[in-house]
Amino acid sequence: MRRVLEDQLDLPLGELLKIMQKGMMQQSTYFGVQAWKCPTDFWIYQEILYETRPDVIIEIGCNRGGGTLALHHLCQNLGKGRVIGIDISLDKLAPAVRNTPGIHFIEADASQCFEEVNALVKPGERVLIIEDSSHTYDNTLSLLKQYSALVQVGDYFIVEDSICDHGLVMSDPPEKGPYEAIEAFVADNPDWVIDRDRERFLVTWNPKGYLQRVR
């Protein structure tokens, strides 16, 4: 039997997160394409897009492409912006997304195709980066160091799924992952801050994951 809110008001937050995760991973779609995005976070994404008006959105990790398509539609509504989607394999990408004008896909390890991506960004363009790849400490930190160079003052680098071992998918013992990579990056890079105001819905898959360049 499906759980409904009025019967779950005493449910611990950890259990609520597990229910949401199951729904997102198994049932959530955007325009018919599977989309692994937390809806409260994606609402924040559209606010950031409206405020910063990026010329380019770089999404590292596309899977089936539902989130990529949603970002593209936001750009269309703004009348500005294009999407670059990077994934180590595009085999799962939905055909309707693959053939969408305005989305440029690169099939590669993001850590190995930076120069190709950099060549697609024109001098002076504003860039938003959303990192959703392997969720390991080393890879996340490496991508932060590489791709943060493309982001201008006032713009954002969003690291997804820092909730791993910080509220969801707990390992025993806990392992270092995106959350710790974010902390390490910010500690060594004073030009960046963690914008925790972007977590105002409380339920987020990106704790400490909204990084803004401030200088």
H-type alpha helices, 79-200? 95-98, 114-120, 137-147, 178-188
Three-class secondary structure of residue 193 per DSSP:
strand
Kindly report, residue by residue over 32-60, the tens digit of the pLDDT. 999 999 999 999 999 999 999 999 999 99
Q: What 8-state DSSP symbol labels residue 88? A: S
Closest CA to 45 of 86, 21, 75, 13: 75
pLDDT of residue 147: 98
Q: Which of 7-11, 80-84, 158-162, 178-182 has the lowest mean pLDDT?
A: 7-11
- pLDDT over 90 (residue 145): yes
Confidence band of 177 (pLDDT split at 50, 70, 90) = very high
Q: Kind of pairing, strands 127-131 and 192-194?
A: unpaired
What band does 7 get if pLDDT is binned at 50, 70 and 90?
confident
Number of domains into which the chain is organized = 1
- State both tokens at 132: 């959703």
Provide the percentage of residues in the chain whose pLDDT is more than 70. Answer: 99
Q: Which distant-in-sequence residues (6+ apart) come within 8 Å of 193 by Cβ?
A: 186, 211, 212, 214
* pLDDT computed for residue 86 by the predictor: 98
CA distance 39 to 107: 26
Domain that holds residue 68: 5-213
The pLDDT score that the predictor gives to residue 188 is 98
Q: What radius of gyration, in Å, describes the C-alpha atoms of the chain? A: 17
Q: What is the pTM of this model?
A: 0.93
What interhelical angle do 66-78 and 39-52 show, nearest 10? 30
Other Cβ atoms less than 10 A from the Cβ of 176: the count is 16
The band of 4, judged by pLDDT with boundaries at 50, 70 and 90, is confident
| Bond into 178 cis (ω within 30) | no
We report the CATH number of the domain holding residue 58 as: 3.40.50.150
Average pLDDT score, the chain: 94
Q: How confident is the model at residue 167 (pLDDT cuts 50, 70, 90)?
A: confident
pLDDT value, residue 1: 60
Q: Is the pLDDT of residue 200 over 70?
A: yes
CA distance 87 to 171: 26
The model's confidence at residue 175, banded by pLDDT at 50, 70 and 90, is confident
Copy the structure tokens of residue 113.
């195709």
* CA neighbor of 214 nearest in space, from 194, 197, 188: 194
CA 49 to chain centre: 13
